[in-house]
Structure 1
């Protein structure tokens, strides 16, 4: 695995970003007296750095487009999937206003694809005692474990963040499910639901985002939405079901593809990238972000603007 390399100066100029060295203290954040946690959220499958991706599909070239896209969206929190260690390092170096949590799925350190969470360091304080990664398996604490029929390890990570503007906290979970094995996806949904239900501060809002490798009608997804779903040949309902941000704003819309396989077209219903939020959240905006060529990934990022009112 090569170490992260700093993006070309073009990307630096686009965002006013520089090389990560000694960082200044976080900027002051205005207090929000109504107690509303207002978030811009993004989930972004970056497409792993692959030597077989040539020309504009090569990470060395499309990394600029990825940084440009993130700078335009200005997320407060964003999750990434498929990012190798060097890709995470590239983004972190080019986006110094963000902090990061996540590990490689193969060894729990730097090997393999990351499913990770970036968050604005001026807005949020990470609860270091309530964050981590678990493997989507019967042994979730063992790095690299896989025993649900998926051939490669799959993971989820989480972090608890405190919003400096409101002094309220919330949880972010990020995940990347298996692309071939439906039983694995269903087991992943159950495990993540249990982890959400048993979080240390059960009254705090939750965001779950990532590449589920499953469209909205997939039983593993409908289970997370609190709908009656058939998992492992039996009907189940998760009582703490979440809300799909995009679908809540675009119900019935036909063109909702996020996995575009480099063709840059949103037509169709291949929507596998999701942002889910606790019931009671106000979803003000949600969209599938279609970037111009050169495409930063073979997935479109999904963005949402969400508010969590004071209880």
Structure 2
């Protein structure tokens, strides 16, 4: 039902991006790095239409450097057999890494990381479910090492399950020796995705002992209007998160609430601007 750990190198299309020059690497903290997490619901919009190009337009307008996608279809009959990860990456001028949490014959469904920066896939694997509930949707995670100037940023993305006990098991796995506990997963680290967990949930609090919610580093400690990302037409829940380690400064984090974003998926994308440096601002 899943593919095992994989390591792979992908060269970035560096010279084509604004603010990044080809040649000698610039200091890692010299410019903001834009990260986006986006549950695209297999590119099925709130109008019921499957439109990867619409998702790509939402992404391209934000000019991100790294994009984490959840609920991506590859080769599935329901979405015309398209490789959505590759199609979106091509439309926004990026390379892609994909992991199928669900893999049945030729049909795959899971998470993707897109970037125009040089990247190396460190791990792509399943996360645990619940032994007593074998019918739950499989979940997985992706970990890529991305070269940012003179630094190497560890970026992980995931999509947790719907049940509280399931999410706890998945959080513990991510904190374990195969992922965040791996010596190779050294700071700076960013973990982002759809955690199906609000700020008062046990899974969120468990992850918060190891990493910091990026929104807290901007001074926002409570839910307020404009911080929720689901459902897109009337956002009420903040379940799409960006967590960061020491060595990551957060300039800004925002939910992208535009007419097109409200139409393209049932989640709104969350954009974070960070800098990599020896110290970060405290709330």
TM-score by length of 2: 0.78
Please, what is the CA RMSD of the aligned residues?
2.7
Are 1:136 and 1:188, in contact at CA under 8 Å, matched by a contact in 2?
A: yes
Matched residue, 1:258: 229
Instruction: Tell me by how many angstroms 1:65 deviates.
Output: 2.9
Cα deviation code 1:118-142 (max 9, x no counterpart):
011xxx32235xx23111128xxxx
Distance in 2 separating the partners of 1:77 and 1:208: 12
Match status 1:64 vs 2:64: no
Distance in 2 separating the partners of 1:189 and 1:39: 26
| Number of residue pairs matched by the alignment | 250
Distance in 2 separating the partners of 1:208 and 1:286: 14
**Structure 1 residues 25, 183: closer, same or farther in 2, change over 3 A?**
closer
Matched residue, 1:192: 174
SS across alignment from 1:107 = strand
Matched residue, 1:284: 251
Cα deviation code 1:129-187 (max 9, x no counterpart):
xx23111128xxxxxxx747361111111111222x22x212111000112x2111001
Matched residue, 1:248: 217
SS across alignment from 1:36 = helix
From 19, 22, 29, the counterpart of 1:29: 22
Are 1:148 and 1:187, in contact at CA under 8 Å, matched by a contact in 2?
A: no
Structure 1 unmatched ranges of 5 or more: 1-22, 139-145, 227-240
SS across alignment from 1:72 = helix
Instruction: Tell me by how many angstroms 1:253 deviates.
Output: 4.3
From 271, 280, 283, the counterpart of 1:303: 271
Matched residue, 2:118: 125
Instruction: Tell me by how many angstroms 1:93 deviates.
Output: 2.7
Cα deviation code 1:185-214 (max 9, x no counterpart):
001001101134433434331110110011
Cα deviation code 1:198-256 (max 9, x no counterpart):
33434331110110011111110111111xxxxxxxxxxxxxx1111124323234222
Structure 2 unmatched ranges of 5 or more: 1-10, 16-20, 75-81
Are 2:168 and 2:203, in contact at CA under 8 Å, matched by a contact in 1?
A: yes
**Structure 1 residues 43, 109: closer, same or farther in 2, change over 3 A?**
farther
Distance in 2 separating the partners of 1:297 and 1:25: 27
SS across alignment from 1:201 = coil
**Structure 1 residues 217, 109: closer, same or farther in 2, change over 3 A?**
farther
Between structure 1 and structure 2, the one with the greater Rg is 1
Match status 1:162 vs 2:147: yes
Are 2:12 and 2:118, in contact at CA under 8 Å, matched by a contact in 1?
A: no
